[in-house]
């Protein structure tokens, strides 16, 4: 299992790169708006929306890491100056690492 973390600031083309990478590698693209767009219309941008978004992502990562899929690409806005972002990245990487996955970032 491969886990590719594409990170950078907002609106720099992470999802576009992910789409092209998915085409040539067979990896599945799980872009961050898949969960945001699910929850934001119901809650707006507030702490509960982010709690649910992170919960859905974590559960998807856990389920996917146990599957027989080749791997996943996840574009992510990583604020290097935010401890919470470092913790989130470590948590998602550990989900795949714990199942023997290869991390690429």
Per-residue pLDDT reduced to its tens digit, 5-57: 999 999 899 999 999 999 999 999 999 899 999 999 999 999 999 999 999 99
Summarize the confidence of residues 61-77 as an average pLDDT: 96
Which domain CATH number covers 25? Answer: 3.40.50.300
* Nearest CA among 103, 84, 85 for reference residue 95: 103
Residue 103: is its pLDDT beyond 90? no
Instruction: Give pLDDT, residue 32.
Output: 86
Strand ranges (E), the chain: 2-7, 28-29, 71-76, 102-104
Residue 105: is its pLDDT beyond 70? no
| pTM to 2 decimal places | 0.90
In which domain, by residue range, is 42 found?
2-104
Q: How many domains does the chain have?
A: 1
Instruction: Give pLDDT, residue 43.
Output: 97
Query: Is the separation of the CB atoms in 61 and 95 below 8 Å?
Result: yes
């Amino acid at each position: 299992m491969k886990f590719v973390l594409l990170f950078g600031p907002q609106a720099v083309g992470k999802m576009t790169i992910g789409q092209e990478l998915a085409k040539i590698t067979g990896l599945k693209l799980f872009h961050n708006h898949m969960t945001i767009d699910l929850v934001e219309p119901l809650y707006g941008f507030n702490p509960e929306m982010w709690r649910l978004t992170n919960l859905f992502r974590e559960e998807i990562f856990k389920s996917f890491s146990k599957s027989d899929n080749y791997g996943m690409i996840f574009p992510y806005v990583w604020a290097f100056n935010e401890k919470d972002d470092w913790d989130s990245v470590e948590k998602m990487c550990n989900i795949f690492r714990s199942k023997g996955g290869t991390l690429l970032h």
